[in-house]
Chain A
Amino acid sequence: MPASIITKRQLGLLFITAGVMVIAGVLIFDLLRHHEFGGAYQWAAIAGGGLLSVLGATLLPLGDDPL
């Protein structure tokens, strides 16, 4: 069987990167557009990004297990 080139650690890194980008994107977009941060949707997006990053972090120890 051909081995997967994607591992669980790599997926973890992808999730962490995506989560951080979501958080950074919301902050930057909101500050540039409104010059302040706030709002339920913004907080929800940040919480989602944080959750994705945490999920990614828990995958890192799984190492080279194939996805």
Chain B
Amino acid sequence: MTRTLTRILIGAALLLMIGHLIVYGVYALSLARFPFDYDQGEGFELNDTVLLSQGQSPYRANEVYPFYASNYPPLYHVLLIPFVWLFGPAYWYGRLFGFAATLIAAAAIGFAVQRETRVRSISVLAGLAFLASNYIYHIGPLFRQHMTMVMFETLAIVVIATYDGTSNRNNRRKLWIGLLLLLAAGFTKQLAIVTVAAFFIFVFLRNPRCAIRCAIGFGTIAGMLFLLLNISTAGQWWLNIITANVNQYLVGQFIGLARQFFGLHGALFILAVLYALYELYFMRLSAYTLWFGLATVDAVLAGKWGAGDSYFATMIAAMCILAGVLSARLYSGTLTFPKNYITRAVSRIRFSPDLLKRLAPLAALAFVLYGLSVIHLPLDGAGFGALAQLLNLKSNTKFPNFYDSAGWTMGYATIGQLPSEADTTNGWRIVALAAADDRPILSEEAAFSFQAKKPVISNPTQLLNLYQNGHYDPAELVAMIKKQAFGAVIFRARFYPTPVLEAVDAAYQPIATIPMNGYDYTILLPRSPVP
């Protein structure tokens, strides 16, 4: 009876997760066709890729024309270079690459649970649960490096998880592959540092001498690469990768995101914490538990200005593994409780496999609850309209055709809807206005420069971060604006340093406001005559 109930609940959870997967696939393909920035900053990552494909460094001085520098490490962009050579600057390949990275991470999560438990249905469920998260859905199919980092992190932890500390060929291979994946994660995005820590702590607990040797080797290679990049860019690497990312911390943003995260992922988070506690008191700590613990602490960085829900992605991957392992072990009755003071204290309760199996439906129910908590759905097209009507879902976002159970809190990206034909048409209207003049444009998003065949000028948030920290003098950019050296200025959120905004307002006048993807883009042309 218990087993049948568990199977029914697992089946229901699987149906929900497959539904989420279909929505995710439609969203990814829809974004791949959209030729403009969908999320602010995508175009600058494309620009990094283009610069690297031309043998140019994206780590350059922000104070001289074109006032542009990247604030991310280069690996994701380097991997996309062949696509630039083949297809020129475009968004689709970076977005599909990010989407593929999430699928690989999900497969690795499923593989990890299967290897630990041999319960295939729950292994599949754990992998799909990762893709079902509103946060993963949000950022997966973007021209962004974050999910590629999470993929490398997940693969590194899954590879090292079965390392037992003995010195043999198999373990050496795991170490080498794991270290390479860690290096790849770190040079995709700086945030991977927490996974590096989890990896080395795990190896240290299994074989301290080996861990110290590996850490010295890894630190030397990573440090030399870091130093080489810093020297070859005359210090711009450090300024743009490290200094520019030290931003104000907003406690309110973190609290809002933490509440939202728990509301959406709470069911699986509780399972993951329970399994972590089980390991803490009854087993040796696994790589997954160490990873989950450190990634949970690291998620606190989501409160940083410019950070957000994506900072929970690594923890979500670890959470899905632990929740899957606990559920599968309850289902198969393979949880064991060695004698210690806790089992002695509760000795009146027998920890028999049968008793624990009775808890298996609760774990399966947690997956069902999670599947219901994270619902996000377009409200029209591709059969979604009928489903939305059936579920009585109405828009609760700024987009009339998108429902997101997450609601909104500061730091949560307002994206997720499918771009419409009107969005694409309006994007081309903005390009037409920008391309009417031979001069370059100053645009808050790079897509309009790419589509108008003009150089990408400035990385606004980078300039703003550095300016607020006293590391950027906008004098040269302001002088060019005053001379009306740009044929048009395009604002979306006015994320430029104040002197730049003041200079633009004095020398340019707004001539149109065009909506795209839920944001109003203001196009400004030079005032005549120059004031």
A: residues with CB less than 8 A from B are 1-2, 4-6, 8, 41, 58-59, 61-62, 65-67
Contact = CB atoms under 8 A, between A and B. Distances in A.
A67 B164 contact: no
A6 B257 CA distance: 35
Interface stretch (B222-230, B277-285, B349-357, B395-403): B277-285
Contact of A1 (B166, B209, B280, B285): B166
B164 A1 contact: yes
A25 B281 CA distance: 29
B166 A62 contact: no
Interface string B166-194: 10000000000000000000000000000
Contacts of B281: 58-59, 62
A61 B284 CA distance: 15
Given A1-B164, A1-B166, A2-B166, A41 B205 contact: no
A4 B206 contact: yes
Given A2-B165, A66-B205, A66-B284, 4 more contacts: A2-B208, A6-B205, A67-B205, A67-B284
Given A1-B166, A2-B165, A61-B341, A41 B251 contact: yes
Interface size class of B (residues with CB under 8 A): 10 to 19
Given A2-B206, A5-B208, A67-B285, A59 B341 contact: no
13 contacts: A1-B165, A1-B206, A2-B166, A2-B206, A2-B208, A4-B205, A4-B208, A59-B281, A61-B341, A62-B281, A65-B340, A67-B205, A67-B284
B207 interface: yes
Contacts of A58: 281
B205 A62 contact: no
A42 B340 CA distance: 36
Contacts of B164: 1
A67 B340 CA distance: 15
Contact of B340 (A2, A4, A62): A62
Contacts of A62: 281, 340-341
Contact of A61 (B165, B285, B340): B340
A4 B207 CA distance: 7
A1 B416 CA distance: 49
A41 B251 CA distance: 9
Interface in B193-213: 204-209
A2 B402 CA distance: 55
A61 B339 CA distance: 12
A62 B280 CA distance: 10
Contacts of B284: 4, 66-67
Nearest to A5: B208
Contacts of A41: 251
Interface in B480-522: none
Nearest to B208: A5
Closest 5 A/B residue pairs (Cβ): A61-B341, A2-B165, A2-B207, A4-B205, A67-B205
Nearest to B281: A62
A8 B165 CA distance: 18
Tell me which of B165, B166, B205 has the highest count of chain A C-beta atoms within 10 A of its own C-beta.
B205
Contacts of B341: 61-62
Interface string B321-340: 00000000000000000001
A29 to B, nearest CB: 16
B203 to A, nearest CB: 11
Determine which residue in A2, A5, A41, A59 has the highest number of CB atoms from chain B within 10 A of its CB, and name it.
Answer: A2
